[in-house]
Amino acid sequence: MAWRGLAHRGWGCGQAWAPPAGGCSSEELTAALARPRLLARRFNFLIQQKCGFRKAPRKVEPRRSDTGRSGEAYKRSALIPPVEETVFYPSPYPIRTLVKPFLFTVGFTGCAFGSAAIWQYESLKSRVQSYFDGIKADWLDSLRPQKEIDFRKEINKFWNNLSDGQRTVTGIIAANVLVFCLWRVPSLQWTMIKYFTSNPASKVLCSPMLLSTFSHFSLFHMAANMYVLWSFSSSIVNILGQEQFMAMYLSAGVISNFVSYVCKVATGRYGPSLGASGAIMTVLAAVCTKIPDGRLAIIFLPMFTFTAGNALKAIIAMDTAGMILGWKFFDHAAHLGGALFGIWYITYGHELIWKNREPLVKIWHELRTDGPKKGGGSK
C-alpha cells in the first residue's frame, strides 16, 4: 500500500518527487518527505538482517612488495617459506636502502678476515702447546690400564679420521640443521621470517644478510647445499687453510646477499631469499678456478663427468640468464655474486687481503705479550 501511494504521488522508481497539481499544505509535505525515509530504513534493516544483520567489514589486503614493474604477482619458490602474510614496505628512495647494507658488507668482510688472521696466530701457538701436551698424554696412557670399550676414545678416533676440511664444515652443517629445525617451530615463524630471510624491502636489512646464509626452509635445499659443501670442503681448506676459508665463506654469504639486494632494487622484483647457495657458489668457483682441469660429476648422474672449468662457465651462464630473464625459482643474483667473488678472491683477493695481514698480526702479538717490559734498577 505504501509503495502504491508513493507511486500515485509521483514516487515511482527512477522518478523525482513532484507536488500535486492543486498544491499541498506544509503538513502534507512533511509527511510525504518523512515516509520514504522511514521505508528506506526498514528496507535496509531487512537487507542487513537477511545478510547476517551487519555487513562484514572489507578485509584489507596487505601491500606486498613482491610485485615487479609489470604488476605481475611474485611467484614464490618452493624453497622459501610462505611469506604472503608478511607486509614489506619498499622505500620511496630505493638507492638509500643500499647504503647500510653496503657499509655492513665492507665492515663485516674486514672484521672476518681480521679475526681469521688473529685466529690463525692463536691456532699456531695452541698447536705448539698441544704437541708437548700430546707427548705427555701418550706417556701417561701407556701406564694406565686400558678399558675394553671407551666411547669417548672412539669418538675422538672418528673425528681424527676426518680431513681438516670436513672437520671445519661440520660446525657450519650443524648450524644449518639447527636453523632448519627452528623453522618448524610455529611460534618462531615471524622471528625467522624477519631475521633469517633477506629482503631489501624489509625493515631489518643487515643481520639477515648473514643469518640467511645458515637458513633453509626446504629439506631438499639444505641437503643439496650441505652435500656440495662437504664434497668441496677438503679441497678448499687445503687451498686456503681453515681460518682463511671461514673468513671467505662468511664474507661470501654477506656479499652474495648484497648483490641480491642490488638486483632486487634495480629491477623492482622484491622478495625474500635464504640459503647458503651464494656462499657455496663462492667455494665452488674458487676450487674450479684453482683446479680448472679437475673432473666433476652431477650427484644423480655420476657417469657423466666434465672439467671444473667448463662446469663453472655453465653455472655462470645459467645464473646470468636467470637474473636477466627474471627466473624466480633460485636467487640467481646471489649465485652469480658468490661465483664472481670466488673467482676474484682466488685470482686477486688472496694477494691483496690475506698476504697483507702481517701488520695486524704484529699489533695483536704486541698486545698479547703486553710489549717489552721496562726493567728498573734495584735499590
- Annotated catalytic residues are 277, 335
Who contacts 29 (Cβ-Cβ below 8 Å, separation ≥6)?
19
CA distances from 306 to 195, 228, 301 (A): 39, 16, 12
Q: How far is CA 320 from the centre of its chain?
A: 20
If DSSP codes are grouped into helix, strand and coil, which group holds residue 67? strand
How far apart are alpha carbons 276 and 264 in whole angstroms?
18
DSSP string, 177-207: HHHHHHTT-GGGHHHHHHHSSB-TTSS--SH
Nearest to 101 by CA among 202, 247, 217: 202
How far apart are alpha carbons 247 and 287 in whole angstroms?
16
Who contacts 196 (Cβ-Cβ below 8 Å, separation ≥6)?
179, 182, 183, 208, 211, 212, 214, 215, 274
How far apart are alpha carbons 203 and 311 in whole angstroms?
38
State which amino acid sits at residue 20. P
Nearest to 279 by CA among 335, 239, 329, 207: 335
Three cell numbers, residue 282: 663462492
The answer to whether the beta carbons of residues 200 and 97 sit under 8 Å apart is yes
Considering all CA atoms of the chain, what is the largest pairwise distance in Å, rounded to the nearest integer?
134
How far apart are alpha carbons 342 and 282 in whole angstroms?
4
How far apart are alpha carbons 267 and 323 in whole angstroms?
10
Who contacts 89 (Cβ-Cβ below 8 Å, separation ≥6)?
63, 65, 201, 203
